[in-house]
Structure 1
């Protein structure tokens, strides 16, 4: 749904303010001794740290003051209903395993969505000071070198493509088999960057990100950035990926179509 420029500006300003307030909360614990980590599940390992909870709490408190009529969906606390038709989608630390390991590939994810999906989004890496932003006015990186416009690559053939995913096993046995069909056709496959892989795709550094088992808060921020930079984000059938699940992000339509054909085989 189209939104007027004034509302977009207000949402963008609030989005930056929310991520600004989350940054120091994540850095307060990053690479510090004695980081407390809890496991959120009895089936496997799904870690959460003080940094996750503190950052999301700070963002929620700011949104409650600035946008009290909007809904909020976050990873660490229960959802908040709203009346405006807009939802703030928060992942305070995407890549908690990287965070607890001291690797700077985690990020703060934020999106603002309506019934059609994300309107704008942010992928923020506080430790290295990079913020990837996407919205109706395009995509850009604010970082140590200043502001840089983002545009995805024009790689047209899988044989020249660079593919990323977070875990080599990808998901279920079926999902893993589909991923490896695709991986066998690309030039290079790499692992482990969580949300930062989508940022690299938007920045024109890589060509494909393929994952499975994602949640809404894992994908809507990166989706907004990749789309604003000229890329495509769908599920493995070419449908809407706003609710997570099996997700493919591609630099352009040609690569997207070639990759979908292999994932769906």
Structure 2
């Protein structure tokens, strides 16, 4: 089966990252600020280093793109894309809704994805053409008959730029029946996409994401029966613009795009 060995390896990478992260969660850890002023911790760096060591030993011809240590073998057709802690602020605050993201991207297209929450022991795994699993069992999205009453999630409205806030607010109004308060969840980062894949959320809307933020999510959401795209409805690949929509019910994509204008 295509990519079966790669998925086994991806699970091992998640195990190694979790072993580096768990001892530091709600404990004493060093932290710093990167060039863009975003936080990074000892746990981020240790988890990525652990995964890179395995890949260098077992997939020496493959490229690696990681949030903390950059890119190696950029020209390789196969790229392992790593975000050791997606949701570093949640990790720092002791909130177990961050996750380790692991993707294999071939010729620019995500083919394997893992979301691992190492504290709760929750793991979603996706492989192109195969059903998504949650802790080894099949996961599936839920149907959504209309946008009104759909449950929408985003990490934070503060992450939207001036030209992105208006489309998001239009979508929020559509799911909220144009009332002040709809079914909207803030916070969660990658964890929201796992919840969508398991049928607990209907829509996730984000902007400003990097490849390591979204590559792992695509096989997971799509293997669970959902769909992912940019804000124009285009499939996500390595060249996408960083706007991201995830829908549990693909039938609602046109409705979402229309609402966002």
TM-score normalised by structure 1 residue count = 0.91
Quote the RMSD (CA, aligned, Å).
1.4
Name the structure 2 match of 1:253.
Answer: 250
CA displacement 1:191-231 (0-9 Å, x = unmatched): 00000000000001110000000000000111121011111
Indicate yes or no: 2:176 matched with 1:182.
Answer: no
**Which piece of structure 1 moves more, 14-23 or 253-262?**
253-262
Alpha-carbon offset, residue 83 of structure 1: 6.8
Aligned length: 252
Counterparts of 1:186-197 in structure 2, within 5 Å, are: 186=175, 187-197=182-192
Name the structure 2 match of 1:96.
Answer: 88
TM-score normalised by structure 2 residue count = 0.93
Q: What secondary structure sits across from 2:132 in the alignment?
A: strand
What is the CA–CA distance in structure 1 between the aligned matches of 2:144 and 2:122, rounded to whole Å?
25
Name the structure 2 match of 1:38.
Answer: 32
Q: Extract unaligned runs of 5+ from structure 2.
A: 176-181
Name the structure 1 match of 2:21.
Answer: 26
Name the structure 1 match of 2:213.
Answer: 218
Q: Extract unaligned runs of 5+ from structure 1.
A: none
Name the structure 2 match of 1:14.
Answer: 9
Are the structure 2 counterparts of residues 231 and 31 from structure 1 closer, same or farther at C-alpha, using a change threshold of 3 Å?
same
Aligned mate of 1:63, from 33, 55, 65:
55
Alpha-carbon offset, residue 261 of structure 1: 1.3
Counterparts of 1:46-195 in structure 2, within 5 Å, are: 46-81=38-73, 85-135=77-127, 136-142=129-135, 147-186=136-175, 187-195=182-190
What is the CA–CA distance in structure 2 between the aligned matches of 1:208 and 1:167, rounded to whole Å?
14
Q: What secondary structure sits across from 2:61 in the alignment?
A: coil
Q: Contact between 1:69 and 1:82, CA under 8 Å: does it hold in 2?
A: no
What is the CA–CA distance in structure 2 between the aligned matches of 1:195 and 1:253, rounded to whole Å?
19
What is the CA–CA distance in structure 2 between the aligned matches of 1:198 and 1:190, rounded to whole Å?
12
Alpha-carbon offset, residue 239 of structure 1: 1.2
What is the CA–CA distance in structure 2 between the aligned matches of 1:56 and 1:239, rounded to whole Å?
30
Q: What secondary structure sits across from 2:200 in the alignment?
A: coil
**Which piece of structure 1 moves more, 239-248 or 53-62?**
239-248
Indicate yes or no: 2:204 matched with 1:209.
Answer: yes
